[in-house]
Amino acid sequence: MIEMTVAQIAEIVGGTLADVSAEQAAELRVTGTVEFDSRAVGPGGLFLALPGARSDGHDHAASAVAAGAVAVLAARPVGVPAIVVAPEPRDSRAGVLEHDPDGSGAAVLGALAELAKAVAEELVAGGLTIIGITGSSGKTSTKDLVAAVLEPLGEVVAPPGSFNNELGHPWTVLRATRRTDYLVLEMSARHPGNIAELARIAPPAIGVVLNVGTAHLGEFGSREAIARTKSELPQAVPPSGVVILNVDDPSVAAMAHVCSGWVVRVSRASHTDSGPSDVWAEGVSLDELARPRFTLHAMDARGAAEVEVQLGVYGEHQVTNALCASAVALQCGAGVEQIAASLAAAGPVSRHRMQVSNRADGVTVIDDAYNANPDSMRAGLQALASIARGGQTERRSWAVLGEMAELGEEAISEHDAIGRLAVRLDVSRLVVVGTGRSVAAMHHAAVMEGSWGASGDRGAVQVADGDAALELLRAELRPGDVVLVKASNAAGLGALAETLAAEGGARR
């Protein structure tokens, strides 16, 4: 974060001082990072006192100050220097906090948002470029690719993992300093207005919309409502900015009509129903590990250009993510050769997102366990099938799948469709993990699809939890098998994927 006094921060967030005088607050300077985990606080930091499932951050204020925090942003006095903001009724900012009975979390999140907004305004005035990315799937992978292609152009700040909500978004903004050239932000939503609020905190000069799917369908109620919420990002980009749209998705292509900024159309084809593409791919193919190769076509500073691109990430769905990242880099002044080199060197960064491990015993593990919705589940299964068939000899494929959360009334039908798709892609073994109605529907659909044999090397089984799945895999995996582990984060299959990848000898 940029250096500020405690008094300046208090004025920005509308807080009062506690256990520190006005004179002291004018001298105390926050020179470190802003943290909500007291264990992460370092010298010169600012600690956020937020309520949690197991403990209240207010109870850790003293230890945070002892670790070096200059002050605490809190909803009540905590016995150490603090900026106190009054608790407020729960609102959209508190949606990320499951435990906030008195509104203290909403108050601290609201103050955090105002602090991040003030910092973003000052840094943008100094030349910072903010890039915002949204979509029902692919945000994190695209964010990682954007950071990779911008790194040769200057200092980049991007969130670790999926820090893309009311807490992670402003926290990431406050990682930027006066040395930062590019701030790359994911923008997620659970309710209408969420993306507009995130964009208010850090107005993007470049906005990227990847797709409109069915993630969080249970909360939004319809795909149309999801599209309207995703369109809050392009509407937030000013006339001087750029909006990058994946026009292969008709719902995204339609957002061109609400953009005041310059529109860049990205596609897997040179022309779509929405017109000619500005950045597109030609001749897409996959190697034996489902890493895409294609010819990138675009306009750079020298005019029309093309270059061969070999991605270092896995799955054909990454082509669109890479095209969007390329479009961002082109807008920031990169040439196509530099973009191709950066994309080739960019492997998976964020944990549990298409991380491919080749064990010493010949088993390949695809860890995509962080999140799942119907679109990303289909992409994961297609990548599994591609890797299993990509070499000289076809390999047995295992899909270890858990629940896709927050699909509302569509949950049963969407899980049913995934179970049937696994059969149609000729996945060798489907291991459905969990006991709920949705995962039972996935298992039942696979059994009823009828393309599999009843036993032997092909078939579907349902197990209660990750431990049971791991026991089954340990007993039945053979050298050369390929295993995909995928589910919504709440299913907790990340630990299974990590354990599975680590077994069978050292990784190659």
Is 356 within 8 Å of 289 (Cβ atoms)? yes
What pLDDT is attached to residue 506?
A: 41
What pLDDT is attached to residue 452?
A: 56
Pairing of strands 34-35, 429-433: unpaired
- 138 labeled binding residue: yes
Phi, psi of 85, rounded to the nearest 5 degrees: -115, 140
Q: What is the distance between the alpha carbons of residues 377 and 432, in angstroms, rounded to a whole number? A: 13
Q: How far apart are the first and last CA of the chain?
A: 39
What pLDDT is attached to residue 353?
A: 83
- 141 labeled binding residue: yes
Tell me the pTM.
Answer: 0.87
What pLDDT is attached to residue 508?
A: 38
What pLDDT is attached to residue 48?
A: 97
Q: What is the dihedral of CA 429, 434, 437, 439, to 10 degrees?
A: -30
- 137 labeled binding residue: yes
Following DSSP, what letter does each residue of 322-373 receive, concatenated? Answer: HHHHHHHHHHTT--HHHHHHHHHH----STTSSEEEEBTTS-EEEEE-S---
What pLDDT is attached to residue 216?
A: 63
What pLDDT is attached to residue 92?
A: 43
Q: What is the distance between the alpha carbons of residues 21 and 27, in angstroms, rounded to a whole number? A: 10
User: Domains of the chain by range and CATH?
Assistant: 4-104 (3.40.1390.10), 127-345 (3.40.1190.10), 355-502 (3.90.190.20)
What pLDDT is attached to residue 94?
A: 46
- 135 labeled binding residue: yes
Is 362 within 8 Å of 159 (Cβ atoms)? no
Q: What is the distance between the alpha carbons of residues 412 and 22, in angstroms, rounded to a whole number? A: 59
450: nearest Cα among 428, 475, 424: 424
What pLDDT is attached to residue 160?
A: 86
Residue where the block lists tokens 């036993």: 455
C-alpha dist (Å) from residue 190 to 96, 136, 194, 237, 364: 9, 11, 7, 21, 34
What pLDDT is attached to residue 255?
A: 97
Predicted confidence pLDDT, tens digits, the chain (508 residues) = 999 999 999 999 999 999 999 999 999 999 999 999 999 999 999 999 998 878 899 999 999 999 999 999 999 999 999 999 998 665 544 455 667 878 889 999 999 999 999 999 999 999 999 999 999 889 999 999 999 999 999 999 999 877 888 999 999 999 999 999 999 999 988 889 999 999 999 999 999 999 998 666 666 778 898 999 999 999 999 999 999 999 999 999 999 999 999 999 999 999 999 899 999 999 999 998 899 999 999 987 778 899 999 999 999 999 999 999 999 999 999 999 999 999 999 988 878 888 999 999 999 999 999 888 898 999 999 999 999 998 778 899 999 999 998 888 889 999 999 999 999 999 999 999 999 999 999 999 999 986 555 445 668 999 999 999 999 999 999 999 999 999 988 888 999 999 999 987 544 3
Is 49 within 8 Å of 72 (Cβ atoms)? yes
Q: What is the distance between the alpha carbons of residues 91 and 107, in angstroms, rounded to a whole number? A: 10
